[in-house]
Amino acid sequence: MAGTVLVTGGSGYIAGFLIKQLLEQGWRVHTTVRNPAREAALRPLLGGDADALRFFTADLMHDDGWAKAMAGCSHVAHVASPFSTNAPRHEDDLIVPAREGVLRALRFAGAAGVTRFVQTSSVAAIAYGHGRGVHRFTEADWTDVNGADVYAYVKSKTLAERAARDWIAGQGGAMEFVSVNPAAVLGPVWSDDFSASIEVVRQLLGGLLPGCPDLGFGIVDVRDVADLHVRALTAHGIAGERFIAAGPFMKLIDVARVLKAQMPADARKVPTRTLPDWLVRVSALFNPMIRQITGELGNVRDADAGHALAMLGWQTRPVEQSIVDCARSLIERGVVKV
Ligand code: NAP
């Protein structure tokens, strides 16, 4: 099955792998970028000739360009959404583009006669606001945005998926909607403009952390996340479904140990001790980035991807491979000096 699909945010980490996989499978791909000047640098990295891959200029915050980008598309993967390591000045800097952006994409998709719309949501829309401790989440769980542990990005992803599902229920007509909800995405980077999720490996490998805070996350490979998007775009009988894209939950210290064990020569600067929580909390007084994550100390937010495995035949590669491929690509691109 191949037709024309719009992948929003063609400059993004996940979108890049998705575009490559769709092109390999014979799809014609439209993609949006905010800045048209980026096409020249992105096209050689993504592959596809001028007919197979077309760039359109569109911003989540404005209507301009969306009708042209959607024209002729039967499918949409709405991947674009603000994602940054920096805490925003105001939560609306993330929430408004995330929520208004998906509603805008849905509106233009509906008008263009798109039949299947896949939203890249997140485990962030599932696993927060449930209190501290050890949890294993499924697609039945929803983040409570009033929870004490909810920060701007988490809110943005939750409110955007909620808004999309409400819109579909009210105005979606025959258009089918599916969400893919990834955990922390690692794997090789394909450009120097990589995702915020890569920061963990960059900082460990570059020796930028004095030790490992007692933090963890589910890890999933970017190639597997892209593959799950392709399945979500094409499988029959899945309208309305939500699919968690996650591998095992790992603490930072476990990621560090994988790096040390699998690439000892290059992982010389990787810290091998866990930082006491009190030290992380003191550092947070001076560092807003650390402040964002102190609420995470000691928590386990495991997410169960059994639904995608069973319903879509999705498979994941070993997490060690995702971590090592991520680290090697950062070294090869000169992002990290070891
Ligand atoms: P990324 O590389 O930072 O990609 C984000 C994309 O969104 C970029 O193409 C960016 O365009 C675009 N974007 C942001 N604000 C925009 C706006 N106002 N108008 C148009 N485009 C805008 O991050 P990623 O990891 O690939 O994330 C892709 C999606 O996956 C996001 O929805 C994210 O929430 C979700 N996700 C990611 C992870 C993860 O661990 N990486 C986990 C769960 C879910 P510019 O290049 O112009 O900024």
The answer to whether residues 231 and 305 touch, using CB atoms and an 8 Å cutoff, is: no
The confidence score (pLDDT) of residue 70 equals 98
What are the sequence ranges of the domains in the chain?
A: 4-193+218-248+302-316
Structure-block tokens of residue 31: 């993609």
CA distances from 8 to 15, 102, 122, 125, 162 (A): 7, 10, 16, 20, 19
The answer to whether residues 78 and 119 touch, using CB atoms and an 8 Å cutoff, is: yes
Q: How far is the CA of 331 from the centre of ligand 1 (A)?
A: 23
Residue 143: is its pLDDT beyond 90? yes
Residue minimizing CA distance to atom 15 of ligand 1: 82
Distance, CA of 80 to CA of 39 (rounded, Å): 16
Burial class (CB in 10 A: 0-12, 13-18, 19+), 297: middle
Q: Is the CB of 11 under 6 A from ligand 1?
A: yes
Which are the catalytic amino acids?
A: 157
Mean pLDDT (whole number) for 92-121: 98
Structure-block tokens of residue 305: 């991807």
The answer to whether residues 194 and 201 touch, using CB atoms and an 8 Å cutoff, is: no
Q: Is the CB of 41 under 6 A from ligand 1?
A: no
Share of the chain above pLDDT 70, in %: 99
Q: Is the CB of 225 under 6 A from ligand 1?
A: no
Mean pLDDT (whole number) for 84-105: 94
Tens-place pLDDT, residues 167-217: 999 999 999 999 999 999 999 999 988 899 999 999 999 999 889 999 999
Structure-block tokens of residue 183: 């955990």
Q: How far is the CA of 222 from the centre of ligand 1 (A)?
A: 13
Report pTM: 0.97
Per the model's pLDDT, the better-predicted residue between 101 and 2 turns out to be 101
Banded pLDDT at 163 (limits 50, 70, 90): very high
Q: How far is the CA of 100 from the centre of ligand 1 (A)?
A: 14
Mean pLDDT (whole number) for 132-150: 96
| Superfamily grouping for domain 4-193+218-248+302-316 | NAD(P)-binding Rossmann-like Domain (3.40.50.720)
What atom in ligand 1 is closest to the CA of residue 121?
44
Mean pLDDT of the chain: 96
Residue 1: is its pLDDT beyond 70? no
Tens-place pLDDT, residues 258-305: 999 999 999 999 999 999 999 999 988 887 777 777 888 999 999 999
Residues 6+ apart with CB under 8 A from 31: 6, 7, 8, 9, 10, 15, 19, 53, 54, 55, 56, 69
Break the chain down into helix, strand, coil percent, rounded to 5.
45, 15, 40
